[in-house]
Amino acid sequence: MNLSGIHKVYFFGIGGIGMSALARYFHQLGLDVAGYDRTPSQLTSKLKAEGIEVNFDAAPEAIPSRFVDSPLSEMLVVYTPAIPEKNEGLGFCRSRGFNVIKRSQALEAIVGQKRTYAVAGTHGKTTTSSMVAHLLNQGKHSATAFLGGIATNFNSNLVVAKDSDMAVVEADEYDRSFLRLRPFVAAITSVDADHLDIYGNAESLRSSFEEFAQLVPKDGLLLIREGIEMKVEAPVWTYAVESETADLTTKNLRVEDGAYLFEVWLKGQKLGEIIMHYPGRHNAENALAAIGMALHANMSWEEIAEGLKTFLGVKRRFEYQIRREDRVYIDDYAHHPTEIRACVNSAKELYPEKRITGVFQPHLYSRTRDFSDEFAESLSELNDLLLMDIYPAREEPIEGVDSQMLLNKVRLVNKKLVAPENLVEEVLRLSPEILLTMGAGDIDRMIEPLKNALDEEDE
């Protein structure tokens, strides 16, 4: 698809993390950008502050007239698959004859001619792609990056390097979007079952990842977490922490003063040592994938080590809200059983003697139904659980699937359902030593109230 000649871009679902990165990109190019989303959020507020018009009315009349009256050849409409097909505004744009494309098609058009470093996986792709973007933009290179979270080093989900032929992309498996990419170097961090509302079963999901892996050319590189089997023609490096058999691995992984230290070895040769202030054993593993990509981009070990030492993480990925001797509050985007387990285990590794209280908001009825036993197991690793109602996102309720059903399966004595309006009160009642809030819905709206209440209690 050729984007030349486009002067105006209208987004349906502009408040989504991937959509907002595209909106920012076109805005930085000087195009007229606006869009619709269902509800206001921190992201939509930031977009508006950056000069991008956002409305929350799905009616065609809410689309600014300068877009409606634009010549067809100058107007582009981008939508996310999460937008219902019955959306009135989207239907109007189609009937008007505008060029209407999915987010994945717009991303394909932007990075199609670049050397693309793509990170895929049901977990870990946001952190890993943010690490790669930080490494490449810290060294002698530079790269445009489209990320699935707000990288703290950039305070954005977008990095624009206008003169670079390199791009870093979070390759999203939802709706099979990542199959539109043409990665030069790719990483696959995990293929755990997820999005079964799209794929139907775990094998169909795995096959889609293999199809993605086969897009990597013979002169590129595929980094793949050890244990994931893929048939590809491209060179492959396996990676895993503390492994005797992976191509890229760590040795002597340890925690010192809240930092993770480890040696990095590639095919039996020691490359050097990493000091990483971004916690979590799973993030040390994500760092291995990022290191492999950086090595393939001809970064020096010194650049890589310094880059990971200064990597500040991603918003809502094991993000400290309070970090004191007597009180710790960490917020995380974890919305899959594997992610919850990684979050809780990281907290346990850092604070082995502390009591851990978790607040979890399930995301999607279908995901809660498909993985209810696994969710119950991972949540049972906590000491206390406050469970919120399921965030429906794009779904209608499913009979028999609710948070009470999930709570009944959790093997904890100290567990309770809680409404958002009562959450602060319940957390204060427990007075947690370590508090984790987890979920991909709108639980992020509770971060500030919880932080303020805990700070006030500790004064």
pLDDT in tens, the chain (459 residues): 678 889 999 999 999 999 999 999 999 999 999 999 988 988 999 999 999 999 999 999 999 999 999 999 999 999 998 888 889 999 999 999 999 999 999 999 999 889 999 999 988 999 999 999 999 998 788 999 999 999 999 999 999 998 899 999 999 888 788 999 999 999 999 987 675 666 678 788 888 999 999 999 999 999 999 999 999 999 999 999 999 999 999 999 998 888 999 999 999 999 999 999 998 888 999 999 999 999 999 999 999 999 999 999 999 888 999 999 899 999 999 999 999 999 999 999 889 999 999 999 999 999 999 999 999 999 999 999 999 999 998 788 999 999 999 999 999 999 999 999 999 999 999 999 999 999 998 999 999 999 999 998 877
User: CB of 71 within 8 A of CB of 98?
Assistant: no
The pLDDT of residue 275 is 96
The pLDDT of residue 214 is 96
The DSSP element (H or E) to which 341 belongs, if any, is: helix 337-350
DSSP for 210-274 reads: HHHHTTS-TTSEEEEETT-----SS-EEEEETT-SS-SEEEEEEEEETTEEEEEEEETTEEEEEE
Q: The whole model's pTM is what?
A: 0.86
The DSSP element (H or E) to which 319 belongs, if any, is: strand 319-323
Which CATH superfamily, name and number, covers 112-309?
Answer: Mur-like, catalytic domain (3.40.1190.10)
The pLDDT of residue 197 is 67
Report the DSSP beta bridge partners of residue 260.
255, 276
Measured CA to CA, the distance from residue 189 to residue 140 in angstroms comes to 26
Measured CA to CA, the distance from residue 412 to residue 131 in angstroms comes to 36
Q: Which CATH number fits domain 319-458: 3.50.50.60, 3.30.470.160, 3.30.930.10, 3.90.190.20?
A: 3.90.190.20
The pLDDT of residue 458 is 74
Question: Residue 61 burial by CB count (10 A; 0-12/13-18/19+): exposed, middle or buried?
Answer: exposed
User: CB of 10 within 8 A of CB of 77?
Assistant: yes
DSSP for 48-75 reads: HHTT-EEE---SGGGS-HHHHTS-GGGE
User: CB of 451 within 8 A of CB of 322?
Assistant: yes
Report the DSSP beta bridge partners of residue 331.
319, 437
Separation in Å, CA 10 to CA 35, 106, 149, 385, 439: 5, 12, 21, 42, 29
Q: Which residue has the tokens 């899959």?
A: 336
Q: List the end-to-end C-alpha distance of the chain, in Å, as a whole number.
A: 58
DSSP for 125-187 reads: HHHHHHHHHHHHHHSS---EEEEEEEETTTTEEEE--TT-SEEEEEE--GGGGGGG---SEEE
The pLDDT of residue 1 is 64
The amino acid sitting at 228 is: I
* Domain locations along the chain: 8-103, 112-309, 319-458
User: CB of 391 within 8 A of CB of 442?
Assistant: yes
Architecture of domain 8-103: 3-Layer(aba) Sandwich (3.40)
